[in-house]
Amino acid sequence: MTYTFADELISDLHKDAHGMRPSAAFMDAWLFDSDDGKQATWDYLVMVMKESQEQEKDAEAQALLVFKDKLRNIMADYGYAWKQALRKWFLETKRGNDIEEFLWEQGLSYDKIHEITGCYFERVDR
């Protein structure tokens, strides 16, 4: 049998699969498990991680739809461009000046946050 598990990565894989680091009991069991047992645990965690990633993608896609709908409503209600609408929503919802945190709280992905903030802070030189 070919083993693909890595002792040094098991904690990271567990976190990716379950959203938290493994308990001391898990790590003790891992340490004393056979290679076949470790591989079975590894394969299970990889499966759970993939399912978790798919659920996260679905949730982010749904959050983006909700975000766009809310932004469109503000734009329509006030006649604002998207940047003005986002600024209004942000300022009414949040204290402080961390728009990335605000976008994260809306459930958007890191890639989408980067895309939005890149456009939002873009300067147009004339």
For the chain, give every domain's residue range.
7-120
- pTM, two decimal places: 0.74
Question: What integer best gives the mean pLDDT of the chain?
Answer: 93
Give the pLDDT mean for 96-101.
84
Give the pLDDT mean for 23-36.
98
Give the pLDDT mean for 28-51.
98
Question: What's the chain's Rg over C-alpha atoms?
Answer: 21
Q: Is the pLDDT of residue 75 over 70?
A: yes
Q: Is the pLDDT of residue 126 over 50?
A: no
pLDDT on residue 95: 66
Give the pLDDT mean for 97-104.
90
* 102: DSSP letter: H
Convert 55-110 into a string of H (helix), E (strand) and C (coil): HHHHHHHHHHHHHHHHHHHHHHHHCCCHHHHHHHHHHHHCCCCCHHHHHHHCCCCH
- From residue 21, alpha-carbon distances to 4, 13, 31, 86 in Å are 20, 9, 15, 36
What share of the chain has pLDDT > 70, as a percent?
Answer: 95
